[in-house]
Structure 1
């Protein structure tokens, strides 16, 4: 996974190049990413605990799924692909906007991402890939806010930034 290439972009999401993923995170180059927010019919958000051995942010709680589109891959297609690879299921995803952030990580790495956010609704079985995910939990928005307030260091920086900005904490208007 570390040898994969990702898409470098400008602040308007125009592609400006392709680079190796780990080197991009070492340099802090702005790149395209996606995040998936899955809700259940009870209005709870699916959180995953990143696999402890991930090259950054291992063992931290985060949104349902995230990653980087491959060169030539649309963000929505990448989001659906990774949802299956990480969490073992598929559902319809709808785009809900973009989010730009820069954050210093552990081990001298930098996340500088223009993130395409997607949401979906799902109530079926979940079969997380143990190489990607060390666990999952469904939490209501108020519980997420309380958990982050009590122990922010147990959540990924990007998920905390989403919550601070108010992005993920409202279930879809129409719940299937």
Structure 2
């Protein structure tokens, strides 16, 4: 079984090394590369997920469709497609950068820190069947945009979901989110 590595970043968002994903997350987690994805169907429904209760960090929180860490040398599109397939069994038609400059820091109840440069993408799936991986996802549901907006103020929402929604809401409904392009992606991450 291979060890999943995360890409460490400097203040200029350049890769400066890697660390094992499990041992790299602790009370002083180094700044590293990640992504978040919102899967939308052609009717504008958003796939919202609840993290598995067995997850070490932020278990059971509700959040966007999927998040993850691009591996060393892995492009953003590849990483998103891999995690969607592994976590949800979802194949998407398009992936669009929406918030390429997003970054955040959050502290879990056990003191574990997430400190990530975390570009946010929208993926459109015309075949919305979901086969969730129970080791990753406790629940997955297609929600209206209005229901997503209601989650923002609920305690079971992930901290990164709240922060992302603050930037996504002004862009309109998910199918209206403009393509932000790839120019603002971190230097450590190719498209």
The TM-score range, normalised by the shorter chain, is 0.7 to 0.9
Unaligned regions of 5+ residues in structure 2, if any?
A: 178-191
Q: Give the superposed CA RMSD.
A: 2.1
Partner of 2:135: 131
Q: Could you tell me which residue of structure 1 aligns to residue 52 of structure 2?
A: 51
Measure, in 2, the Cα distance between the counterparts of 1:86 and 1:142: 25
Within the alignment, does 1:37 sit opposite 2:38 as a pair? yes
TM-score, length basis structure 2: 0.82
How far is the alpha carbon of 1:169 from its aligned partner?
Answer: 6.0
Match of 1:99 among 99, 102, 121: 102
Per-residue CA deviations over 1:105-152 (Å, capped at 9, x if unaligned) read 121210100012221111421111111111111222222222332x2x
Relative to its length, the structure with more strand (as a share) is 1
Count of residue correspondences: 172
1:7/1:19 contact within 8 Å kept: yes
- Larger relative helix fraction: 1
- Quote the Cα distance in structure 2 between the aligned partners of 1:138 and 1:169: 18
- Among candidates 162, 170, 173, match of residue 170 of structure 1: 173
Q: Do the aligned residues in 1 keep the contact of 2:48 with 2:141 (CA within 8 Å)?
A: yes
Does the residue aligned with 1:108 lie in a helix, a strand or coil? coil
Secondary structure of 2:47 counterpart: strand
> Alpha carbons of 1:37 and 1:169: their partners in 2 closer, same or farther (altered >3 Å)?
farther
Q: How far has the Cα of 1:2 moved from its partner? A: 10
User: Aligned in 2, Cα 1:36/1:24: closer, same or farther, shift over 3 Å?
Assistant: same
Q: Give unmatched runs, 5+ long, in structure 1.
A: none
* Structure 1 residues 169 and 37: alpha-carbon distance in aligned structure 2, compared to 1, 3 A threshold: farther
Q: TM-score by structure 1 length?
A: 0.88
